[in-house]
């Protein structure tokens, strides 16, 4: 996955996400791949906001 191509604020959110100690990860790799595949930062933000993130 090309994480460096992500908009910096999304990178920061991912890097600052608390460690998962039990259960499922809040972000699926499949969902994140959709965001990473998009090169436009505005579109990345829209796709990120539409992800089904477990909070």
Each residue's pLDDT tens digit, 13-39: 988 988 889 888 888 888 899 999 999
Q: 21-52: string of b/e by CB count within 10 Å (b at 16+)?
A: eeeeeebeeeebeebbebeeeeebeebbeeee
Q: Reply yes or no on whether the pLDDT at 55 is more than 60.
A: no
CB 26 within 8 A of CB 17: yes
CB neighbour list of residue 52: distance below 8 Å, 6 or more residues apart: 31
% of the chain at pLDDT higher than 70: 95
pTM over 0.75: yes
């Amino acid at each position: 996955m090309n994480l460096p191509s992500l908009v910096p604020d999304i990178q920061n959110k991912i890097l600052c996400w608390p460690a998962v100690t039990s259960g499922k990860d809040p972000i699926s790799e499949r969902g994140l791949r959709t965001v990473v595949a998009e090169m436009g930062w505005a579109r990345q933000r829209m796709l990120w906001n539409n992800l089904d993130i477990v909070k």
